[in-house]
Amino acid sequence: MKILSVQEMRDLDNLYIDKFGIPQEVLMENASLGAFEIMRKKKLHLAEKILLFCGSGNNGGDGIALARKIFSFNDSIKVYFLKDPNKFKDASLTNFKVADNLGIQWETLTDDCMDRVKKEISEADVIVDAIFGTGLDRDITGTPGEIIDTINLSKAKIISLDIPSGLNGNNGCVMGRCIEAYYTISFGTLKYGHLIGKGRKYCGKLFNCNISFPASFTKDLKTSINIPDPLFPRDATGHKGSFGKALFVSGSRDYLGAPLLNSYSFLHSGGGYATLFSTEEVIKSVSNFARELVFNRGDASDTGSLSLANFENIMEASKKNDVLAIGSGISLDPQTLDLARKIVENCKTPIIIDGDGITAISENLEILKKREFPTILTPHIGEFSRLTGFSIEKIQKDRINILRETAKDLKSYIVLKDATTIIASPEGELLFSTAGNSGMGVAGSGDLLVGIIAVNLCNLPPLDACSIGVFIHGYTGDLTCETYGEEGVLPTRMLENISLAIKNLRKNHFKVCKKYIPIEI
């Protein structure tokens, strides 16, 4: 499923109308039919008291058209307009006139009626939000803000048309306040704001109504939901060498969990041979839990981190491996950061850079630009801020463009970890992950991701490796959540479920992936 910016969606609408002569009324009718189908399946169209709140734009027009469909089955419906609907334009005005002729109850909101309307909101069973669509470009204040606040306090099931009013369609930021929807029914295709920023929180359950756009219209767009290709069967004649070999340069005195999680997750993901290069202190701790790992002991600095003297040994070890992963828990010891930069600059294998390794490389990005072998970066938003030099606030407002340009500039694949993880390629592709849950927001979760990606990078192109790795990581978190709840999604528990996630995905790819694609109407 493709994901568009607000402008891309607007251009698609205009193309359909201007080039092919499809009237706006038809698109609005299709949108309302899709929304009504969701309500019908959930039996919400028969609710005892249904209120619709409509703004003055096309989103409001979609709401009026939906009111007509509901009225055909249930006359316990009332529409409130934020502005005089007689002043609407084009398709929205047409739909209002039809609704008025049918005798649907409606009223324009004024200061005099607010107390009564608030009481009605408190008594409603279903509320449809068609106040503001994706074109909102200002913070919500005044009467619309007051209505949104009141709706959010109600016990009604709230259905937002296209996007919850107040949610920015491009970046998922809240514009003053925002409807907290139970269901959101997107029209045409999903927009960025549905999935990033606060989108996952405020949209509730996501649906998408195609409104008759042919798939060919969006096939060349480079932004999609991350649904990986089916996994290859495991080679029945394979051996530890053919299942991938990875070298993990990880850990320090204060970070003993990271080296265990990223190197051991490689084995739990089906990797054949994992070598951990770290200090004696780290290896002594890790070996108590992971005896299947191979250990390569390096010299320690005074702070208990890897010293610069390990460079030659690491370079020699990297030649025997398919992938090198560096950075998880190596600390911010200046000597270790120098070591990380030197390794990245000279390593002639595919490399994954995580955690403190990203901090190290942020001080000399030219190293990445000059690399001739695949590079994958796995920053969280704070590390991405250091990588780009932009503030977190600026990134949140324009993360899609910044991420795409950074991946291109650094000639690197970037896995930006967040509630919705986004994968970016140097060629401009973006993949949005809908797998995973808030319980994964815990130290160590990202270390597991490094090992899972590393397995796939041994035998697949970087974008495919990231796609599969991110999906399995999120799906593993969801499997763990089913057993322990979100508060119990510890990385050590996830570790035990990685192989189960891979087994399920290989056995029934379609069934597993289907749950991560919004239902289409």
Contact 398, 193 (CB under 8 A): no
Alpha-helix runs per DSSP H in 319-461? 334-346, 356-361, 366-370, 381-388, 392-397, 399-410, 445-457
**Cα 129 from Cα 314, distance rounded (Å):** 58
User: Which amino acid is located at 382 in the chain?
Assistant: G
Q: Which fold has domain 3-221?
A: Rossmann fold (3.40.50)
| Residue in the structure block whose two tokens are 């932009």 | 390
Q: Where are the domains of the chain?
A: 3-221, 245-520
Whether 157 contacts 192, CB under 8 Å? no
Order the strands of the 105-108 sheet from edge to edge: 105-108, 77-81, 50-54, 126-130, 157-161, 183-187, 205-209, 519-520
pLDDT by 10s per residue, the chain, length 521: 889 999 999 988 888 888 888 888 999 999 999 999 999 999 999 999 999 999 988 999 999 999 999 999 998 999 999 999 999 999 999 999 999 999 999 999 998 899 999 999 999 999 999 999 998 889 999 999 999 999 999 999 999 999 999 999 999 999 999 999 999 999 999 999 999 999 999 999 999 998 877 777 777 889 999 999 999 899 999 999 999 999 999 999 999 999 999 999 999 999 999 999 999 999 999 999 999 999 999 999 999 999 999 999 999 999 999 999 999 999 999 999 999 999 999 999 999 999 999 999 999 999 999 999 999 999 999 999 999 999 999 999 999 999 999 999 999 999 999 999 999 999 999 999 999 999 999 999 999 999 999 999 999 999 999 999 999 999 999 999 999 999 999 999 999 999 999 999 999 999 999 999 988 77
Query: Is-contact 200 232, C-beta < 8 A?
Result: no
Q: Are 410 and 374 in contact (CB under 8 A)?
A: no
Distance spanning both ends of the chain, measured CA to CA = 13
* Range 245-520 classified under CATH 3.30.1280.10: no
DSSP string, 470-507: HHHHHHHHHHHHHHH-GGG--HHHHHHHHHHHHHHHHH
Please identify which residue in the block is written with the tokens 């808030």.
438
